[in-house]
Structure formats: C-alpha cells, structure tokens
Amino acid sequence: MKLAVLPGDGIGKEIVAQAVKVLDVLKGEGAGIEMEYGHIGGAGYDAEGDPLPETTLKLSREADAVLLGAVGGPQYDKLDRPLRPERGLLRIRKELNLFANLRPALLYPELAGASSLKPEVVAGLDIMIVRELTGDVYFGQPRGIEMRVGPNGQGERVGFNTMIYSESEVRRVAHVAFGIALKRGRRLCSVEKANVLECSELWRDVVAEVAKEYPEVELSSLYVDNAAMQLVRNPKQFDVIVTGNIFGDILSDQASMLSGSIGMLPSASLDEHNKGMYEPIHGSAPDIAGRDIANPLATILSVAMMYRYTFADAATADRIETAVKKVIAQGYRTGDIWTEGTNRVSCSAMGDAVVAAM
Ligand code: IPM
Ligand code: MG
C-alpha cells in the first residue's frame, strides 16, 4: 500500500509522527506500507509557493491513501484567498473526488465528564455523520464579490455564492450513507432545509429514491435547524446522519463537542473506489504547536479508519482502536482530556503508550 503523508501546519507534524509510529509497528510485522511525505497548506506555500503543490497532488493521486495532519496558521491569514492553507485542503478534496466525508462522534465512557452536556445525555454516544464534501455552496458557481446598484441608486458591494447539488452527487453520497447505516444501527437521518431551499428539496427526493434500495434501513428527514436542536437535546437518537457540505461542516463540529474532546475524533474522506484521505477533525492549533502537548489520538484513530475503509482490514482497524481504548482506560491523558487523578502525558508519550498497548 502506498501512503502519502502530509503533516501540514501547526501541530500537524507532531501528531502525524505518532500515527507513523503505529504504522511502523505494522510495517515491522510485515505489512507492505510505503510512506512518502509531501507539503500541504501553509507548509506547501512556504516550501513551494502553493498550498497544494503539484508534487503533493501527484503523490496523493498515486497513493492508495493520504494521511493528513492539519492546515492553517495566523501567519497565512493575510494571503490572497487562493494561496491560503484552507484552499489547499479544499482543492485536494475536489481533485481526488473525495465526496464522502465520514465523521464519527463517539464518546469514550472515561471521558464522559469532559462533555459540556450531562453525562447521562451523552454516555454511550456513537454517531456517524456522512458529510458530502465536494459540492454545495463550497464549490458552486457563480460566486464572488462585485459592485451592483443599491437601493439608493448608488453602487454597493454584494457577496454571493451558489448552493447547488445535482442528483448524481446526492445519489452517490446517499449510497455511502445507507451502506454505512446497514453495518451499524440501520437508521439514517437525512438533514436539509427543504422547507426553504430547492436544492434541499431535490436532496430530500433523491435520498428517498435511494432508500428504496435499502429496505432494511429506516430513513428519516430533519430540517437542519431542528437537527441542530435535536443533537444537543437527545444526541443518542441518531445513528447515521447524511447531509450536504455546509450543513455537515456545522453539524459535525457541534457533534464533536458532544464527546467533549475534539482531539479524539478522526475522519475519512472517500472517493467511489474507497481511496481516502484520513485526518483528525481538529485543526492545526498554532497556539500549542511545537510543544509536544497535542493529542495524537484522533490522528492515530484516523489510521484505524484507513485500515477499515481503504485497506478493508477490519482486524487491524479494531486492533488500533482497542489500543486507544486501552490507553484511555489506563489513565493516559494529554492536556485537552486531562482530569484530576489521571496521568498527564505528552504527545509523543501518548504515541508510545498506544504502540505499547498494541
Ligand atoms: C473542516 C474545515 C474546513 C471546511 C475548512 C478548514 C476549509 O472546517 O474540514 O470542517 O470548512 O470544510
Ligand atoms: Mg469544519
């Protein structure tokens, strides 16, 4: 298996190094993994003047999977939009056609106290959000800021974007979501805003059509505002959620905080052949970069997802996830999840603990 490793910015290098330790264990046991490094985000801009350099794109296209750390940092905020780190991330998603973004929100029982919700509301939480990742208002044309005639007859600036989904885009992500629901609790909730938006009306119709092919899965629909409310009222009512790019961006951040620990949550972004990019859902945390205190578990768990979805090796995925559960049960905690009475460790010590647990 060929793996493109893109540490990116901020804490990206530190957390990816811990995930690579896990991969090295598997390599040492004979797994055929080849790793090659590339620049992305601010690191791409610094090294090659582009947040997604050609070399990185080529490396990623040729790889079976991509492991990404994080992108972004305050030093890049003043750059022109196309040169900003975030644009590198959006472009690689689009270029590799990674349309299905899987964002689990799972609460480890030992961390229930870290949630801002009551422990009984979140205990046992296990949701999978499937976010469409290459369409919607993120990529729709036309978009821009331009001068138009205002109410007083004078020119004023207007900003505009286009929310757009085609049937085929909705259909393919719906199939992924139904497929995942089949392997889990067999309940899928489609989230849109069909009471206001035509784009959402189409989304709802197409998801309902696809549902006919999955009679074992119970489909429900919610408007996004109601879904946001239900997610904090009673999050355990959900099994799998499927939604568009912008709603999924917002709801997945919200869902991640139910678990109290954004540093624990991995993600997968898949194309139709299960090639994937794997990354923690948290950002580059420039404020703590370089201090060896970041939580590497989301990145390590992203490697588990890589084994599950791209390498179709559930046994190894389970083994990595079990090792993470074990270090949590043993009381190892990085600062973000530390509570009185547990053992505060550095990023690299956490990586070592997972390796030992494996
Ligand atoms: C995410 C992030 C990105 C997004 C940003 C950094 C472009 O918020 O992965 O959720 O909006 O998709
Ligand atoms: Mg986001």
DSSP string, 190-256: EEE-TTT-HHHHHHHHHHHHHHTT-TTSEEEEEEHHHHHHHHHH-GGG-SEEEE-HHHHHHHHHHHH
- For ligand 1, say whether the CB of 83 is within 6 Å of any of its atoms: no
The overall longest dimension of the chain from CA atoms, in Å, is 73
What is the per-residue pLDDT for 116?
A: 85
Q: What is the pTM of this model?
A: 0.94
Phi and psi of 102, rounded to 5°?
Answer: -100, 120
Which residues lie closer than 8 Å to 29 by C-beta, 6 or more apart?
none
Pocket of ligand 1, candidates 68, 84, 90, 262: which has the most ligand atoms within 8 Å of its Cβ, to mutate? 90
Strands 155-160 and 126-132: unpaired
Per-residue pLDDT of the chain (358 residues; tens, 9 = 90+): 999 999 999 999 999 999 999 999 999 999 899 999 999 999 999 999 999 999 999 999 999 999 999 999 999 999 999 999 999 999 999 999 999 999 999 998 888 887 889 988 998 899 999 999 999 999 999 999 999 999 999 999 999 999 999 999 999 999 999 999 999 999 999 999 999 999 999 999 999 999 999 999 999 999 999 999 999 999 999 999 999 999 999 999 999 888 877 889 999 999 999 999 999 999 999 999 999 999 999 999 999 999 999 999 999 999 999 999 999 999 999 999 888 899 999 999 999 999 999 9
Which residues lie closer than 8 Å to 217 by C-beta, 6 or more apart?
178, 181, 182, 186, 187, 188, 211
With a pLDDT cut of 70, the percent of the chain lying above it is: 100
Which atom in ligand 1 lies closest to the alpha carbon of residue 85?
Answer: 6
Tell me the three state secondary structure of residue 351.
helix
Which atom in ligand 1 lies closest to the alpha carbon of residue 90?
Answer: 7
Pocket of ligand 1, candidates 81, 86, 138: which has the most ligand atoms within 8 Å of its Cβ, to mutate? 86
For residue 131, which ligand has an atom nearest its CA? 1
Q: What's the burial of 78, exposed, middle or buried (CB within 10 Å: 0-12/13-18/19+)?
A: exposed
Residue with the nearest Cα to atom 3 of ligand 1? 86
Which residues lie closer than 8 Å to 229 by C-beta, 6 or more apart?
none
What is the per-residue pLDDT for 35?
A: 97
CA–CA separation, 154 and 186 (whole Å): 56
Which atom in ligand 1 lies closest to the alpha carbon of residue 279?
Answer: 9
- For ligand 1, say whether the CB of 352 is within 6 Å of any of its atoms: no
CB 104 within 8 A of CB 289: no
Write the DSSP symbol of residue 307: H
Amino acid symbol at 195: N
CA triple 239-97-76, angle to 5 deg: 95
CA–CA separation, 272 and 131 (whole Å): 14
Strands 276-280 and 266-270: antiparallel
How many C-beta atoms lie closer than 10 Å to residue 14's C-beta?
25
Write the DSSP symbol of residue 212: T
What is the per-residue pLDDT for 51?
A: 98
Domains of the chain (ranges; CATH) run: 1-99+271-358 (3.40.718.10), 107-264 (3.40.718.10)
Distance of CA 155 from the midpoint of ligand 1 (Å): 33
Cα 249 to its chain centre, rounded Å, is 9
